[in-house]
Amino acid sequence: MIYKDYVKWDRMPTNWCPGCSIGTVFRHLTLALEKAAVPREQMVVVSGIGCSGRAAGYFNVDSVHVTHGRAIPVAEGIKRSNEKLKVIVFSGDGDLVGIGGNHFLHSARRDSDIKVICINNGIYGMTGGQMAPTTPFGEKTLTSPFGTSYAPLNIQGIVTSNARYWYARTSSYHVNHLLKCLGEALEWPGFAFIEVMSFCIENFGRRQGFKNGFDMLFKLKQDYKLNPKPDGLLKNHELGVVKNVGQAS
Amino acid sequence: MHQAIGKKIDPLITWRPEYCKRCFTCINICPVKNLMFQDDEMVSLGKCIQCQLCEKYCPDFTIEVPPRKEDKK
Ligand SMILES: Cc1ncc(C[n+]2csc(CCOP(=O)(O)OP(=O)(O)O)c2C)c(N)n1
Ligand SMILES: [Mg+2]
């Protein structure tokens, strides 16, 4: 099976804005599925609400587009009822760690065997660019016109506070690293969380003075550096994988 | 349904106008500045080195470039 078989072509083009990199991540996920040779009948994609959440509808496999924030519990339920399936969650930051934060916390704690891909654009993109729990400190958004006064959520800290974890931070600019992380996550037996640093041009970037999607893409290149062998946890602005095969005690 | 067939704008490059959103990411990512738009149509200047960056970064499955022969091995 090649990557094109995982895409629902009659739904193309996608409704993501021109220059939005969710499509790039979507494409690389299909490539990773091709590499891992996951049969189409043995996988499910679950998405919540948001721009990133539209991805479930573009997969030519069984997929569920669930209510806002509930992608992780639905995925966990599917996995528990049929252990053979590979269950992938593809959703946004506001969906997974904002409204769905508590589900995320506990699925990570239970180490349920689902692969979570979180497009972190630091904003509630679909609803117009409101401040999200992941918005970087001091950024101007629709609901924080003078800059946010809160620090963003430490997703890595939440995942790695468990005994057994797999966490990757990657970006939609570093596509080779992204593909590698997606492949590794598909193989990991347990809760795998990939935070894909991304951007939103129309509802966030324009307010910061960016003119085009690719300008924000090149900013990701400047902002993030790869760390192939992290010593402990990843620092801010570092991309890499941290994992621990320890047993829950 | 299958993917749109697309146009050959160069012996190496296939472009699918049906999916293209004209985001200009491919044009700006190209290391040899091979691609450009002319009257809403993408054209190639014939300098393609088959690095496939445009294909990798295209969010909409619009561009396709075959890999170099030596990379295939
Ligand atoms: C229960 C509920 N509350 C609020 C909303 C409105 N809403 C729709 S999308 C969205 C934000 C999604 O943000 P994110 O998950 O980051 O996705 P993005 O659009 O940024 O990719 C919100 C708040 C909703 N649909 N349902
Ligand atoms: Mg978001």
Distance CA A175, CA A221 (A): 11
The DSSP string of A24-66 is: HHHHHHHHHHHHHT--GGGEEEEE-SSTGGGHHHHBSSEEEE-
User: A170 forms bridges with which residues in the sheet?
Assistant: A196
Indicate if the pLDDT at residue A38 is higher than 90.
yes
Confidence of residue A90 (pLDDT cuts 50, 70, 90): very high
Convert the pLDDT of each residue in A6-26 to its tens digit: 999 999 899 999 999 999 999
Q: How many domains does chain A have?
A: 1
The rounded mean pLDDT for chain A is 94
Would you kindly state where each structural domain of chain B is located, as residue ranges? 7-64
Taking residues A63-91, what's their average pLDDT? Answer: 95
Residue A112 lies in a domain: yes
Indicate if the pLDDT at residue B69 is higher than 90.
no
Convert the pLDDT of each residue in A128-181 to its tens digit: 999 999 999 999 999 999 999 999 999 999 999 999 999 999 999 999 999 999
Is domain B7-64 classified as CATH 3.30.70.20?
yes
Distance from the alpha carbon of residue A32 to the mean position of ligand 1, in angstroms: 27
Taking residues A91-117, what's their average pLDDT? Answer: 95
CB contact (8 A) between residue B59 and residue A21: yes
Convert the pLDDT of each residue in B9-56 to its tens digit: 999 999 999 999 999 999 999 999 999 999 999 999 999 999 999 999
Domain membership of residue A43 as a residue range: 3-244
Residue A249 lies in a domain: no
Question: What is the distance in angstroms between the Cα of A249 and the nearest Cα belonging to chain B?
Answer: 43
CB A134 within 8 A of CB A97: yes
Q: Which residues have beta carbons under 5 A from ligand 2 (an ion)? A: A 92-94, 121, 125
Q: Is the CB of A204 under 6 A from ligand 1?
A: no
What contacts B68, CB < 8 A, 6 or more positions away?
Answer: B50
Q: Is the CB of A129 under 6 A from ligand 1?
A: no
Task: Please report how the helices A71-81 and A101-110 are oriented relative to each other, as an axis angle in degrees rounded to 10.
Answer: 30
Q: What percent of chain A has pLDDT over 90?
A: 94
CB contact (8 A) between residue B25 and residue A27: no
Checking ipTM against 0.90, whether it exceeds it is yes
Q: Which residues in A have their CB inside 8 Å of a CB on B?
A: 4, 7, 9-10, 12-14, 16-24, 26-27, 175, 212-214, 217-218
Which of B3, B25, B61 has its CB closest to that of A214?
B25
The residue nearest atom 3 of ligand 1, judged by CA position, is: A68
Q: What is the atom index within ligand 1 of the atom nearest the CA of A121?
A: 20
